[in-house]
């Protein structure tokens, strides 16, 4: 199982760029990296997914180095509504039993 390690919490001011790094040293060749966002008392929401290099969508970018042992979620110009827990997951190609949530990073955006 590819376990993930993330910082427990981060604070950022509104308007800043936030980078959350996830470590996954045991990632398998066929594993994808997926990030979810969760607000209190709600289900997690898919943000972005990637396999290598860089992926960008309308809400975030995902940077994955060549060795794929880590990944960085980048949130541009955060707002108060981005205050949430962000989870990094690794797996999927070999089945749902790989999809375990790590501890997550609690991001607090300060006005």
Partner 1 sequence: DTEVTQTPKHLVMGMTNKKSLKCEQHMGHRAMYWYKQKAKKPPELMFVYSYEKLSINESVPSRFSPECPNSSLLNLHLHALQPEDSALYLCASSLRTRGTSTDTQYFGPGTRLTVL
Q: Does 45 bind partner 1 (CB under 8 A)?
A: yes
- Footprint of partner 1 on 58-97 (CB under 8 A): 87, 91-97
Inter-CA distances, 40 with 57, 92, 103, Å: 24, 25, 15
Name the residue nearer to partner 1 (CB basis): 42 or 81: 42
Q: Is 80 helix (H, G, I), strand (E, B) or coil?
A: helix
Stretch that binds partner 1, among 17-25, 37-45, 53-61, 71-79 (CB under 8 A): 37-45
Contact 21, 7 (CB under 8 A): yes
Q: Does 35 bind partner 1 (CB under 8 A)?
A: no
């Amino acid at each position: 199982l590819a376990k993930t390690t993330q910082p427990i919490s981060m604070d950022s001011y509104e308007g800043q760029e936030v980078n959350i790094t996830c470590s996954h040293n045991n990632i398998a060749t066929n594993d994808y990296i997926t990030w979810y966002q969760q607000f209190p008392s709600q289900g997690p929401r898919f943000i972005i997914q990637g396999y290598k290099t860089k992926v960008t969508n309308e809400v975030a970018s995902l940077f994955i180095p060549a060795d794929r042992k880590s990944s960085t979620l980048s949130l541009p110009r955060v707002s108060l509504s981005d205050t949430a827990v962000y989870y990094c997951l690794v797996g999927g190609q070999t089945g749902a039993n790989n999809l375990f949530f790590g501890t997550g990073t609690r991001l607090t955006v300060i006005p």
